[in-house]
Amino acid sequence: MLAEIALYILDIARNSLDAGSTRVEISLTVTDNARVSFRIIDNGCGMDEDTLAHALVPGFSLSGISGRGYGLPTLKKAALDAFGSFSLRSFPGHGTCVEVSFCMDCALSPVLGDVEETVRLLVITNPGVDFLYTRNQNGRTASMDTASFREILGELYKPMQPEILTYIQDYLCQMRLSLLS
């Protein structure tokens, strides 16, 4: 099992990218009552009923790459072991939604990890994909939408350029800090 929720988010987001998504929405909620949940919604190819039925079978993968197909079943087990929940919905041609929660008081719950760094890595390594990241914490919400960066900067939007990379990193850091104060 993965030891960090941030790594589960990375794994599910990679599935979204493998499904041809051009937009991935990642929502993280940290509550005062020791619950952490996340939701990832994409506009990828989605899954038909047969694929959806097999998606939670360990080792099932349409990628043909050895060692794939363990992310969703492992995530579901980790969530349920930590007295949380797991939901998977998908529709062909419309994308997929994964929703997960963990009880952080449970000894079996993974640690949160650095979700903002995970989002930053997703953004800079997938410049053609729009990411909406929303973090809810302490009753406050902050978000970052790379579509707005793309709209403002046009062709200048290149996440690997040092200035843009620094801006994204600073934006995510300020976003997290604004929720803690």
Packed helices 115-125 and 162-180: angle between N→C axes, nearest 10 degrees: 160
- The strand ranges marked E within the chain are 23-30, 35-42, 85-91, 95-103, 130-137, 140-145
- Supply the pLDDT for residue 63: 62
Residues 28, 134: contact at Cβ < 8 Å? yes
- Supply the pLDDT for residue 20: 95
- Supply 73's token pair: 């079943």
- Supply the pLDDT for residue 158: 85
Using CA atoms, how far apart are residues 181 and 165, in angstroms rounded to an integer? 25
CA angle 79, 14, 63 (to 5 degrees): 100
- What digits encode the pLDDT tens for the residues 109-124? 999 999 999 999 999 9
In 10 A of CB 1, how many CB atoms?
12
DSSP state of 101: E
Q: Give yes or no for residue 65 having a pLDDT over 60.
A: no
96 phi and psi angles, rounded to 5 deg: -135, 150
pTM, rounded to two decimals: 0.92
- Supply the pLDDT for residue 2: 61
Task: Name the strands in the sheet holding 23-30, side by side, starting at the edge strand that comes first in the sequence.
Answer: 85-91, 95-103, 35-42, 23-30, 130-137, 140-145
Q: Give yes or no for residue 99 having a pLDDT over 90.
A: yes
- Supply the pLDDT for residue 55: 86
> pLDDT-based confidence at 53, cuts 50/70/90?
confident
Name the residue with higher pLDDT: 157 or 48.
48
Q: Which residues lie below 8 Å from residue 108, measured CB to CB, with a gap of 6+?
A: 78, 81, 82
- Read off the pLDDT of each residue in 78-83 and give the average, rounded to a whole number: 95
In whole numbers, what is the pLDDT of the chain averaged over residues? 90
